[in-house]
A and B are shown apart, each in its own frame.
Chain A
Amino acid sequence: MTGVPMLAAMPPLLLSGLLDWVLDDVWGTALDVLAALTGVEMLGYPFMQRAYLAAVCLAVIAPLVGSFLVHREMAMIGDTLAHSAFAGVAVGLFVNATYALSVPPLLTALLVAAVAAVLVQLLVDRIGTYSDTSMAVVLTGSFAVGSVLVTATDGGIAVGINSYLFGSLATVTRRSLGVLLAMTLLVTVVVTVAYRPLLYATFDEVGARAAGLNVGRYNLLLVVLTAVVVVAAMQILGVILVAGMLVIPVATAGWMRGFRRAVVAAVAAGLVATVTGATLSYVYDVAAGGAIILVAIAVYAAVGTARTLRSTVTVLPTRTGGDRPVEADGGDGRD
């Protein structure tokens, strides 16, 4: 009968072994090699290797879920849930300080954000729209809970809360990176499996319902996924900047032809933002969250400008009697 306890001990061992393997043997080795080849020393530092892996995870999951949110005009739900997650962190730190426990604040953040997600969805189902009012109620209410809890302990947990408020890449521990990797895997698998119903419900909600899709269930799935992404992103970006990563890369890729391509392009834009932002954050010793969002906005502006210039240039020959036929859409090359 010794086999049973042994089996029970297997999963944690297996998981931490898997994390070691991914972090050290695969990712660490790859970046060590890259550091040796390029002569860029920071690629070889273990804390930067962790930071870059976290940046990659963030760049994958935020635009992935954001693609569905943006096109439902639900962009601000990310902001709302981030503030709920903040309240969740405060709850965790408060409980730990008061009852001398050691509940991971990320767990309470996830729980509170998920509850808030369900609450928002229930409000939406009642009111019938993602109204600004219900969002504002949940957002400010959450932040109020957080701020009250933080001050209720004589400021004892205020220091701990700061890293969640503003985020940080330098403090990404092996353990929190493991959680982030697991969340990334979960979000990616769920979105991949539910891609078609999510897309259909986003494109034509009524048509999807008439086609027998349980749209309510997928809406709920989407907000809960958002809660997971927000909690994952919060450690790095900070509460206030989380929404930016859900929205800006998606907006950057909004001109693409085809939804699937746009999602891939949004992830690519996200990668540029997080990896560049993480690098700038280290080199100039500035906040990672701010650097990442500023790079994301710069990429957005650059892509927008390039497209405006290109369409101006291609329109000119048509006006001066070029051989392009005049098309109903103005023949400006946009489609």
Chain B
Amino acid sequence: MAVVEADGVTFAYGDTPVVEDVSLAVEPGAFLGLVGPNGSGKTTLLELLVGLHRPDAGSVSLFGEPAHAFADGERVGYVAQDATHAGGRMPVTVREAVRMGRYPHRPFGRFSADDRRAVESALDRVGVRDLADRRVDRLSGGQQQRVAIARTLAAEADLLALDEPTVGVDAESREAFYELLAELNASGLTVILVEHDIGVVTTHATEIACLNRRLFFHGDPDTFVETDALADAYGGDQHVLAHDHP
């Protein structure tokens, strides 16, 4: 069974069509890179895939259930584009932020030994253990991204969905971050990554989807660079949309 399956998905903000007739399936263990020009609907498609919107037409199924009604929330880890701004100046520590990953498992009551173990191992896995008692808002952009990933690991999510996670992160931390993603993917986690840097995607992803409102390509990176999909998607058929990342 596919982790996520979109079938003829169409979605508009008011009168502005953002995603049109997109069908694609993401199999367990895949690392899908979602690319496309600015305003191509990448973010919206990702939000549709994890059930944050209900499609106007077509359907999205998440682990075999309709995505917008999917209740088993801990299986999905979502890191939004502005995750580095999450919480603003809230006095939340790294450990507190990572513990939030366990909240869907345990909305109230004491944390079990399993919960605590999941949190500690998530802190270790992304290398922020020594920052555990620091405030999230005092960390660098790269460290904050790792905390966001740790939260989804603590949730023991099966699907990790990231929207341009390295915006505002320095080059060195970015490379380390993508290596971490590749490692997590190698250990079985399904990853969907929205990214404007095509070089990063073709290096790390196992499959590419190229979007400009409609889906121009879905296949492996090697084929992608050989076809004209990129030029087609970025080329003539472009419309200026009201917003870049709605």
Contacts and interface: CB of A to CB of B under 8 A. Distances in A.
A335 interface: yes
B87 A210 contact: no
B103 A204 contact: no
B215 interface: no
Nearest to B73: A212
A325 to B, nearest CB: 14
Given A207-B151, A335-B138, A213 B91 contact: no
Contacts of A199: 92, 96, 100, 103
Contacts of B78: 206-207, 210-211
Contacts of B103: 196-197, 199-200, 211, 213
Contacts of B83: 204, 207
Interface residues of B, number: 40
A195 B70 CA distance: 23
Given A200-B103, A203-B92, A257 B133 contact: yes
A261 interface: yes
A210 B50 contact: yes
A241 to B, nearest CB: 25
A196 B92 contact: no
B91 A210 contact: no
A206 B52 contact: yes
Interface in B36-76: 50-52, 70-74, 76
A34 B155 CA distance: 50
Interface string B82-96: 010011111111001
Contact of B104 (A193, A206, A211): A211
B52 A209 contact: yes
B14 to A, nearest CB: 12
A206 B80 contact: yes
A71 B89 CA distance: 7
A258 B91 contact: yes
A211 B107 contact: no
B123 interface: no
B135 to A, nearest CB: 6
A251 to B, nearest CB: 10
B91 A259 contact: yes
Contacts of A26: none
B97 interface: yes
A262 B50 CA distance: 33
Nearest to A328: B140
12 contacts: A200-B100, A203-B87, A204-B80, A204-B86, A207-B86, A210-B50, A210-B161, A212-B70, A212-B73, A257-B133, A257-B135, A261-B91
Interface of A: 71, 73, 193-197, 199-200, 202-204, 206-213, 253-262, 328-329, 334-335
Given A207-B148, A213-B104, 11 more contacts: A195-B108, A196-B100, A200-B103, A202-B87, A203-B97, A207-B100, A208-B100, A212-B72, A258-B96, A259-B90, A334-B138
